[in-house]
Structure 1
Amino acid sequence: MPAPDDHAAALARLAGLLADPTRAAMCLALLDHRAWTAGELARHTGVAPSTATEHLTRLVQGGLLTQHHQGRHRYVRLADAATAHLVESLAARAAPGPAAAPARTLRQDRATGALARARTCYDHLAGHLGCAITDAMTRTGLLDQDTGFALTQTGLAWFDEHGIALPKSGRRPLARACLDWTERRPHLAGTAGAALCTWVLDSGWCVRVGSGRALQTTDSGRTALQQLWGVHTPA
């Protein structure tokens, strides 16, 4: 078993990977569950390509990102769902409070508002929409939050009735709480959260806004979410 000092050193190295604002911004961008090129992340974070490459190399070597090369391009993505959960949880802990400075531009304000309303967190729903659906599933007996997050027998039957396939085995938990950094309360993650997100997107109830994580609820989605769970979403 590693000595306590080894654990402390490993934790310090991990914290150091996210201690730089550029690397932190890269990890937040990668919460959209897509693979990004080094050039895309350089433009997103406003740094030179050479600087982005240096940061990405550190993140890959530190185990937070994985990479693969295709032609001339280098693609990176978060290492796994556990890494995404770590980044989202830290973002929730570090989220600015009510007294934080307002957005500097109207565009920034709209982007922040869109993320707060509905977004993907790696591969599941987050923001007000994700939390509202989680609350509705709990209220209707599909999800039990009394002793942690767990689908009830009614919940398992509901997924089956709607043709939403859930894996029978795997290391990833079926249902898990993920602290939402804008709502400051948990939303549903795990394989059930991922399957539900895929179902909502495939049904056309939500569409992605641009190339980021923000989602917009469609007219059919607003009707369906209201009928299914009593979830109200703004037009």
Structure 2
Amino acid sequence: MKEGPDISQIGALIGDPARANMLTALMGGQALTATELAGAAGITLQTASSHLSKLEGGGLVVQRKQGRHRYFGLADDEVGALLESIMGFAANRGLLRTRPGPKDPALRRARVCYNHLAGDFGVRMLDRMVADGDVTLDGDDAELTASGEARVAALGIDVPTLRAQRRPVCRTCLDWSERRSHLAGSLGEALLARFIADGWAKREKDSRAIRFTAEGERKFTALFP
């Protein structure tokens, strides 16, 4: 008898093209309706509902009800990290679904990865924090140091509140476009939220791309040169 985790079940759920497209759409971090996900996957609403039921049963998505509407999102950070890792693995081996298009440069530069900053800007931020001793790395594990806590506190981020959560404050996430790690965890989410709240950046409509303003990029570069 075979024992241990059954990766074939997860592989089968993610491996279906329609379900893969739906999961990729949810990597933007926004909750979407079944109708919106059907459009993203290019399938009928009835077929989308069947796929969503399987994804929910496999623990990859969760649904939230608001009035008469139902919204779907990724179950948690672990699902986002898994999908980003698989995307990086596929890109590294040239397994791309389409030729690079006009939106690719913006996505590679800065984008949202479920709830944190990815792309060149995300990788650059983690690299600088590691180089400055604000974050220490041990394999895939990451830890915020005292100097790092002071650095992000100066941006208005309440680290004790982050530490009180059940989620990791810091963790690394393999970036599919840069093929290196960017910063995830509750700190990664808090930093992206701060950049947007302070007007440094905004999310492009109907896209995962994050667009920094000229002033926002100047401030970001000064903080993470």
Same fold flag (TM > 0.5): yes
Percent identity, aligned pairs only? 39
Q: Retained in 1: the 8 A contact 2:92–2:179?
A: no
Whole-Å Cα distance in 1 between the matches of residues 31 and 50 of structure 2?
A: 18
Corresponding residue for residue 188 of structure 2? 193
Structure 1's unaligned 5+ residue stretches are 231-235
CA distance, structure 2, for counterparts of residue 181 and residue 130 of structure 1: 12
Match in the other structure for 1:139 = 131
Distance (whole Å) between structure 1 residues aligned to residue 56 and residue 103 of structure 2: 28
2:56 pairs with 1:60? yes
In 1, the alpha carbon distance for the partners of 2:73 and 2:96 equals 30
Question: What TM-score comes out, normalization by structure 2 length?
Answer: 0.90
TM-score relative to the length of structure 1: 0.87
The one-letter code of the counterpart of 1:130 is G
Q: Structure 2, unaligned stretches of length 5 or more? A: none
Alignment of 1:109 with 2:104, yes or no, is no
Q: Structure 1 residues 99, 73: CA separation in 2 closer, same or farther (over 3 Å shift)?
A: closer
Match of 1:156 among 149, 154, 168: 149
The secondary structure found in structure 1 opposite 2:65 is strand
Distance (Å, rounded) in 1 between the aligned partners of 2:54 and 2:109 = 33
Matched, 1:94 2:90: yes
Report the equivalent of 1:31: 27
Question: For residues 12-59 of structure 1, what are the alpha-carbon distances to aligned partners after superposition, in whole Å with 9 as ceiling and x for unaligned?
Answer: 111110010110111111111111000011111211111111111110
Q: Which residue of 2 aligns with 1:173?
A: 168
CA contact (8 A) 1:165 1:195 kept: no
CA drift at 1:96: 5.1
Contact kept in structure 2, 1:29 and 1:212, CA below 8 Å: no
Give the Cα–Cα distance (whole angstroms) in 1 for the partners of residues 54 and 81 of structure 2: 20
Residues 128 and 70 of structure 1, relative CA distance in 2, 3 Å threshold? same
- In the TM superposition, residue 100 of structure 1 has moved relative to its aligned partner by 5.8
- Is the counterpart of residue 50 in structure 1 residue 46 in structure 2? yes
Kindly indicate whether the alpha-carbon contact (under 8 Å) linking 1:149 and 1:177 is maintained by their aligned counterparts in 2: yes
Report if the CA contact (8 A) 2:124-2:224 is conserved: no
